[in-house]
Amino acid sequence: MKIFPTGSIKKLDAYTIEHEPIASIDLMERAAQALTKEITERWGTETPVTFFAGPGNNGGDALAVARMMAEKGYKTEVFLFNIKGKLSPDCQTNKELVEMMEEVDFHEISTQFAPPTLTAEHLVIDGLFGSGLNKPLSGGFAAVVKYINASPATVASIDIPSGLMGEENTFNVKTNIIRADVTFSLQFPKLAFLFPENAEFIGEWEILDIGLSKKGIEEIETDYEILETEDIRYLMKPRNRFAHKGNFGHALLIAGSKGMAGASVLAARACLRSGVGLLTVHAPACNNDILQTAVPEAMVEADGSETCFASPTDTDDYQAVGIGPGLGRSAETEMALLQLLTQCQTPMVLDADALNIIANHRHELTHLPKGCILTPHPKELERLAGKCQDSYERLAKARELAQTATYTSF
């Protein structure tokens, strides 16, 4: 699944409007129908619903949902914040429709805001700002966000929690971001959803299909994708009933050191679980008995050292090499790894201490064989690429590092 930045989402909306064709207000109506369906399936008509709508299209979505829920018998109260006296055209249209409904308790806020009473029984629909926000909330909007966050009500955000930006939030003000219990994202997740530091704002998130152009989705490029089951299903080919272990590749795992046999055991089990036909684990002699007992399916090649990886092994007969878990960072291991990197032409997965050693010899990144994969956790990435303030910067530095390591992907 593609993840589009804010600017590309606007292009995709415009593409859908032009090529379907469909009017912008009708596309908003379609989004509101998807939102209403999901919300009404989760909460019954006994739930009082309070809407907080902003002046843009996110607010227009909220107004349309309020109208539809009122038509279904929900008790709805709407607060439309129109501080500057200017609404987006579609928001204006939905405001006029809501104003005509006696079933909706509607308030348009232009100056002073008297907050409603929100109880644990209330559902708050957050439609203040969408993913187009490009600066932290402040002033009155920040105060509204803090009021909602302090309430015991359940909060559902439309598209993205108000105050959270779709991609970078490095300099955002956390106290001025809605803390949603659930976020209903329209058509796609936002990049910000995938960063752990934003989980407290997003809560549970669900993607709602609003019928954006499939052709537009294919044609408009993006740098980010989520790998899903359907993306890799074709790789999982049925195995011939007469196949044997020799048909499914031979992997080499270089892992473990004295006191760290567990890392090599876990990595070996994972490698076997992936479906490899044969697995050889190159490990220090002190780990031989543990590996032979814990992972009897694997073959063990003992290193010349009793306690660590110190003797580079020939990798030519293997289809893939994994190196790093529990490896340690002794001088002997460092020398052996660097020597291995100069001679290995087999695709490698480099992890853990292999990355920590490379961090001290970054020029080796340009010597890796084609098809290598690096799997750093945050601290390992910082050792390779420098300090990062958050996941967005971490992702940017990982991409930069991947370009430095000509044949490497993350």
- Residue 267 is predicted with a pLDDT of 98
For residues 72 and 42, is the Cβ–Cβ distance under 8 A? no
Q: What is the pTM of this model?
A: 0.91
What tens digit of pLDDT does each residue of 6-44 get? 999 999 999 999 999 999 999 999 999 999 999 999 999
- Residue 404 is predicted with a pLDDT of 77
Q: Between the CA of residue 59 and those of 90, 108, 166, 207, 214, what are the distances in Å?
A: 9, 12, 17, 19, 26
pLDDT band at 409 (very low <50, low <70, confident <90, very high): very low
Helix axes 352-359, 331-343, angle to 10 degrees: 90
- Residue 397 is predicted with a pLDDT of 94
- Residue 235 is predicted with a pLDDT of 85
Q: Please compute the mean of the pLDDT values over residues 360-381 and round it to a whole number.
A: 91
- Residue 406 is predicted with a pLDDT of 56
The full length of the chain comes to: 410
Q: Please compute the mean of the pLDDT values over residues 211-224 and round it to a whole number.
A: 96
- Residue 59 annotated as binding? yes
Across 213-222, 315-324, 369-378, least confident range: 369-378
Residue 339, beta-bridge partner list: none
Q: Could you give the strand order of the β-sheet that contains 250-254, starting from the edge strand earlier in sequence?
A: 299-302, 278-283, 250-254, 320-323, 348-350, 372-374, 408-409
Q: Domains in the chain, ordered, with CATH? A: 2-230 (3.40.50.10260), 248-409 (3.40.1190.20)
Expressed in angstroms, the distance from the first to the final Cα of the chain is 18
pLDDT greater than 80 at residue 117:
yes
Helix axes 352-359, 378-385, angle to 10 degrees: 20
What tens digit of pLDDT does each residue of 249-268 get? 999 999 999 999 999 999 99
Return d(Cα 295, Cα 269) in angstroms, integer: 7
- Residue 176 annotated as binding? no
What tens digit of pLDDT does each residue of 49-103 get? 999 999 999 999 999 999 999 999 999 999 999 999 999 999 999 999 999 999 9
Helix axes 89-99, 57-71, angle to 10 degrees: 30
- Residue 203 annotated as binding? no
pLDDT band at 368 (very low <50, low <70, confident <90, very high): confident
% of the chain exceeding 70 in pLDDT: 99
Contacts of residue 130, Cβ cutoff 8 Å, sequence gap at least 6:
56, 57, 58, 61, 158, 159, 160
- Residue 381 annotated as binding? no
- Residue 57 annotated as binding? yes
pLDDT greater than 50 at residue 138:
yes
- Residue 104 is predicted with a pLDDT of 98
Q: To the nearest whole number, what is the mean pLDDT of the chain? A: 96
pLDDT band at 366 (very low <50, low <70, confident <90, very high): confident
Instruction: Name the residue type at position 312.
Output: P
- Residue 130 annotated as binding? yes
- Residue 408 is predicted with a pLDDT of 44
Helices (H) and strands (E) in the chain, counts: 14, 16
- Residue 133 annotated as binding? yes
pLDDT band at 281 (very low <50, low <70, confident <90, very high): very high
pLDDT greater than 60 at residue 233:
yes
- Residue 132 annotated as binding? yes
- Residue 6 is predicted with a pLDDT of 92
- Residue 211 annotated as binding? no
pLDDT greater than 60 at residue 410:
no
Return d(Cα 338, Cα 307) in angstroms, integer: 18
For residues 224 and 3, is the Cβ–Cβ distance under 8 A? yes
Which string of DSSP letters, residue by residue, matches 214-231? Answer: HHHHHHS--SEE---HHH
Return d(Cα 324, Cα 348) in angstroms, integer: 10
- Residue 324 annotated as binding? no
Helix axes 24-42, 89-99, angle to 10 degrees: 60
Return d(Cα 290, Cα 262) in angstroms, integer: 9
- Residue 257 annotated as binding? no
Instruction: Name the residue type at position 300.
Output: V
Strands 224-225 and 250-254: unpaired
